Amino acid sequence: MKRAFYYLSRARQLFMPRIPFDQLAATLAAALVKLGFNDERAVLCARLFAETTRDGVYSHGVNRFPRFARMIGNGSVEVGARPRLVNRHGALERWDGGRGAGNLNAWESMNRAMAIAREHGLGAVALANTNHWMRGGSYGWQAAEAGMMGVCWTNTLPNLPPWGATEPRVGNNPLVLGIPRGDRPVVLDMAMSQFSYGALASYRQRGEALPVDGGFDAVGQLTRDPAAIEASGRPLPIGYWKGSGLALVLDMMASMLSGGLATHQIPADPERETGVSQFFLAMDPGPFGGGRAIADAIVGSLGVRYPGERTLALRAENLKLGVPVEDEVWARIVAMV
Amino acid sequence: MKRAFYYLSRARQLFMPRIPFDQLAATLAAALVKLGFNDERAVLCARLFAETTRDGVYSHGVNRFPRFARMIGNGSVEVGARPRLVNRHGALERWDGGRGAGNLNAWESMNRAMAIAREHGLGAVALANTNHWMRGGSYGWQAAEAGMMGVCWTNTLPNLPPWGATEPRVGNNPLVLGIPRGDRPVVLDMAMSQFSYGALASYRQRGEALPVDGGFDAVGQLTRDPAAIEASGRPLPIGYWKGSGLALVLDMMASMLSGGLATHQIPADPERETGVSQFFLAMDPGPFGGGRAIADAIVGSLGVRYPGERTLALRAENLKLGVPVEDEVWARIVAMV
């Protein structure tokens, strides 16, 4: 998915304005204050949006901001809501997100999981009643940059037929794992669908076939034709039956631990997808020592790019040249301020 | 993978003796005592082998017992070794398996993680210096049947080329998630390769193509031909780049937390694969309540089989008719007693 958006960005960014990172973050923060956030939360929320685009995940950063604003407008996102501790069982806590801003709720939840982990070695927050967390990888980076291992996932609206079915009954439930390694952490951010609908659209718009099978066509054959998959509504889970099973158990764990909604209960309209359930686990490997050397040796043995490596390259480029934002999106945000 | 072995078993079991479960477990226990285990550990180790076959995972149960015995003989498995606590950071513990029997070490580790979780809500054991745990799903069932959520994984010898490479540099690192749901838990047990080498061999022996692409042929094309993949040594990670990344981060977490070997350090000979690293996480959802109703509603909404469902059907059949064991394997075990 990230690869697709990377190529999308390479093609499109010739036509996109590049905004200096600090200007982008400040403008978003001003827009968020206009939407009703207090200054401190506006700054953090803006930073999370801007960093996502800075890191090359163009689908879930600033380009997504107009939809986020619309979902405040339609009542799906509560501007003033903050996560609230509901129950505690030792180092495992249940929180309610109050349908607040998804990225702020997720950031606070990982922060809380890390605080527990500093004391107890590991800590977890199960978060009910929250909203789309935008880029899941943000919370893997958040943990890894603080020297922690972070594991988190979210459920989503039903957008993926489980293996053996034709109707979307599971979510693509992104799973994120972050591993500290100084200033070069390893961060994996993967949805349970092989390609997102956004990725399918970008392949179709470029007139390209998918690099591998991405779903079923209208007669139930596996295909690399993005338009055929968009038409059938049958994208493929990663690993066929395996990703289908993993999407299911991630949904079960998040909703059972948080007491929140499961995928089958989440509104299927992306503009009204709210009340999702998430899970955040932090582990503190520091006191055991030696982790960095092990991590470096593994990455060194791999011989190919590790998850997170391209992020650093894109981040450096976008900090140097400015962060590419779609023209009409930037115009809309500037008009909000 | 399990599907493949299921079909394998359906074809072969006409020619296999079916041994009553209790007789099978008792015979294995007697063989294990001959191999040097004390009575108590022999009974548990035998039960884990017998239950794996009873549950239809024929590749990693009794049929694997002769190799297990050979690996005691060649010094890879230490009969007398027991896991030893090395370090503790709150609810996160580091243990050393002393190269003991893999299934016993894993069972004790999940047991310990559950004991921590009862006290702290969640608990984890990182286990270095252990051996192949046989069926990973055993420890998911172990947790779920005790009312706990269990998450565990192991690294393996390098047997899978990461996406973009042709040489095996990551392991297929099975990941297991178990979710309590009374007597019908949901247990997912998935390796990071789309098909194991065992599964490829069984398709080849039956002259069948794989149901989906399973790897690359000699000229680097994706193929459903099992023999071509065996020849190239390039099976496919689930979800292409995604499973490749997940295999990497699971290896990193297990080895960094346990202080044990990473995949690139594990002997590549399956008969001498020892010193692997594993991770066991248990979470106790009980005090929050309501989990069973949420789990039942999710399973009910799925419309297709859930992970673990077929296990229960095979278990019932094998308990009724006797557990199928390959003829020559059974003869060899009986000769040991």
Say if residue B3's pLDDT is above 80: no
Instruction: Measure in Å the smallest separation between the Cα of B308 and chain A Cα atoms.
Output: 10
Q: Is A162 on the interface with B (CB under 8 A)?
A: yes
Q: Between residues B4 and A104, which one has the greater pLDDT?
A: A104
Size of interface A-B (CB pairs under 8 A): 225
Q: What is the pLDDT of residues A293-308, one digit of tens each?
A: 999 999 999 999 999 9
How many angstroms separate the CA atoms of B185 and B188, rounded? 10
How many angstroms separate the CA atoms of A48 and A45, rounded? 5
Q: What is the pLDDT of residues B192-246, one digit of tens each?
A: 999 988 889 889 999 999 999 999 999 999 999 999 999 999 999 999 999 999 9
Q: Do A288 and B259 touch (CB under 8 A)?
A: yes
Q: Do A283 and B307 touch (CB under 8 A)?
A: no
- With residues binned 3-state (H G I as helix, E B as strand, rest as coil), the percentages for chain A, rounded to 5, are 50, 20, 35
Whole-number percent of chain A with pLDDT over 90: 92
Q: Do A89 and B288 touch (CB under 8 A)?
A: yes
Q: Is A147 on the interface with B (CB under 8 A)?
A: no
Say if residue A247's pLDDT is above 90: yes
Q: What is the pLDDT of residue B67?
A: 96
Cβ-based neighbours of B14, under 8 Å, separated by 6 or more: none
Say if residue B5's pLDDT is above 70: no
Q: Do A190 and B302 touch (CB under 8 A)?
A: no
How many angstroms separate the CA atoms of B218 and B234, rounded? 9
SS3 A208: coil
Q: What is the pLDDT of residue A10?
A: 53
Query: Which of A120, A256, A301 is the closest to B91 by Cβ?
Result: A120
Of the pLDDT bands very low, low, confident and very high (cuts 50, 70, 90), residue B290 is confident
Q: What is the pLDDT of residues A26-62, one digit of tens each?
A: 999 999 999 999 999 999 999 999 999 999 999 899 9
Which of A7, A119, A184, A248 is the best mutation test for B, with the most CBs of B within 10 A? A248
Query: Which of A252, A295, A301 is the closest to B295 by Cβ?
Result: A252
Q: What is the pLDDT of residue B112?
A: 98
Phi, psi (deg, nearest 5) at residue B103: -70, -35
Q: What is the pLDDT of residues A182-197, one digit of tens each?
A: 999 999 999 999 998 8
Of the pLDDT bands very low, low, confident and very high (cuts 50, 70, 90), residue B2 is very low
Instruction: Measure CA of the first residue to CA of the last residue in chain B; give whole Å.
Output: 32
Say if residue B10's pLDDT is above 60: no
Say if residue A11's pLDDT is above 70: no
Q: What mean pLDDT, rounded, does chain B reach?
A: 94
**Whether the Cβ atoms of residue A175 and residue A190 lie closer than 8 Å to each other:** yes
With the C-alpha atoms ordered A63, A67, A70, A76, is the resulting torsion angle positive or negative?
negative
Q: Is A219 on the interface with B (CB under 8 A)?
A: no
Q: What is the pLDDT of residue A13?
A: 52
Interface of B with A in 80-109 (CB under 8 A): 87-94
**Whether the Cβ atoms of residue B75 and residue B161 lie closer than 8 Å to each other:** no
Q: What is the pLDDT of residue B14?
A: 55
Q: What is the pLDDT of residue B1?
A: 40
Position of tokens 């498995």? B77
Q: What is the pLDDT of residue A290?
A: 86
Q: What is the pLDDT of residue A202?
A: 87
**Residues forming a β-bridge with A278:** A127, A154
**Whether the Cβ atoms of residue B179 and residue B149 lie closer than 8 Å to each other:** yes
Of the pLDDT bands very low, low, confident and very high (cuts 50, 70, 90), residue A1 is very low
Q: What is the ipTM of this complex?
A: 0.95
How many angstroms separate the CA atoms of B109 and B116, rounded? 11
Instruction: Measure in Å the smallest separation between the Cα of A336 and chain B Cα atoms.
Output: 38
User: What residues of B are labeled active site?
Assistant: 60
Q: What amino acid is encoded at B170 in this protein?
A: V
- Chain centroid offset of residue A305 CA: 21
Say if residue A12's pLDDT is above 70: no
For domain A1-73+307-337, which CATH number applies: 1.10.1530.10, 1.10.340.30, 2.60.120.10, 3.30.420.40? 1.10.1530.10
Q: Is A239 on the interface with B (CB under 8 A)?
A: yes
**CATH 3.40.50.11540 is right for the domain spanning B1-73+311-337:** no
B290 φψ region: left (φ > 0), alpha (ψ -120 to 50), beta (else): left
Of the pLDDT bands very low, low, confident and very high (cuts 50, 70, 90), residue B157 is very high
Say if residue B299's pLDDT is above 50: yes
Q: What is the pLDDT of residue A272?
A: 96
Q: What is the pLDDT of residues B233-270, one digit of tens each?
A: 999 999 999 999 999 999 999 999 999 999 999 999 99
Q: Is B140 on the interface with A (CB under 8 A)?
A: no
Instruction: Measure in Å the smallest separation between the Cα of A214 and chain B Cα atoms.
Output: 10
Whole-number percent of chain A with pLDDT over 70: 96
Q: Do A302 and B87 touch (CB under 8 A)?
A: no
Interface of B with A in 318-337 (CB under 8 A): none
DSSP assignment of A63-87 equals GGHHHHHHHHHTTSS-TT---EEEE
Strand order in the sheet with B122-131: B84-89, B92-96, B122-131, B274-283, B149-154, B175-179, B186-190
User: pTM value?
Assistant: 0.95
Which of B93, B256, B257, B310 is the best mutation test for A, with the most CBs of A within 10 A? B256
Domain boundaries, chain A: 1-73+307-337
Instruction: Measure in Å the smallest separation between the Cα of A34 and chain B Cα atoms.
Output: 39
How long a stretch of residues is chain B? 337
Cβ-based neighbours of B336, under 8 Å, separated by 6 or more: B30, B31, B34, B35, B69
Which of B127, B234, B238, B309 is the best mutation test for A, with the most CBs of A within 10 A? B238
How many angstroms separate the CA atoms of B94 and B273, rounded? 21
Which of A242, A255, A261, A264 is the best mutation test for B, with the most CBs of B within 10 A? A242
How many angstroms separate the CA atoms of A148 and A123, rounded? 11
Residues of chain A contacting B119 with CB distance shorter than 8 Å = 90
Instruction: Measure CA of the first residue to CA of the last residue in chain A; give whole Å.
Output: 32
Say if residue A7's pLDDT is above 80: no
User: What residues of A are labeled active site?
Assistant: 60
